[in-house]
Amino acid sequence: HFLYLSAYHADARNSCVWFASLDGREHRRLFECPSSVIYASGHLLFIRDSILLAQRFDPARGRVLGAPIATPAVAQLDPTTWHAVVSASEQDDLLYGTGTGVGGYRVVWFDRRGREQGSIADAANHYSIDLAPDGRRAVIETQYSPFSDLWVYDMASGVPTRTTNDNDDDTPPVWSPDGTRLFYARRQTVGHYWIES
């Protein structure tokens, strides 16, 4: 099964999150949502009115449970692609970009009790974020020049390693389930990089 967002440029209020199966037998609308969603630790995470929300979700039945829970986070949403700048691991790590518009954001990570553990505070535009499955690294799409590249951050030290360096936008990065590869789009093509364990 997989989740996806059907988005409408004319009216973001008509954008919806869907649950579907790879064999095509299931295809069900879950709820209206103006942002992409991610699934982690039994919840769907998404942004509505700049607020990060958590919605309990049963992946076996493809059903949302109860009402969404508002977090105190004001999270970043790229309004041109509806991409929520949010990532989470199955170890309950949460990473998100703050802000309500496009440009110049601070990326912050917190522990389970909401205490700030570290941040990336610079003049760059940080767009897409994805935590590695082990929760120890994060890949961030960052724009220092006219083009965005991918940087892998060690979450303990905050030290970045540049992964791509070209004259194209590399977006949005996603870790492979084993944390050894990054998948991303580069304009009209799709690429991947091997990451040393």
* Distant-in-sequence contacts of 173-178, Cβ < 8 A, 24+ apart: 173/128, 173/130, 173/139, 173/140, 173/141, 174/130, 175/130, 175/131, 175/132, 175/133, 175/139, 177/133, 178/133
Beta bridge partners of 32: 16
CB 114 within 8 A of CB 84: no
Report whether pLDDT(151) > 60.
yes
Beta bridge partners of 27: 20
Beta bridge partners of 129: 140
104-136 pLDDT tens trace: 566 777 777 878 877 776 656 777 888 899 888
175-191 pLDDT tens trace: 998 999 998 887 655 55
15-59 pLDDT tens trace: 899 999 989 899 999 999 888 899 998 999 999 888 899 999 999
Which tokens hold the place of 53? 């929300």
Separation of alpha carbons 90 and 134, rounded Å: 8
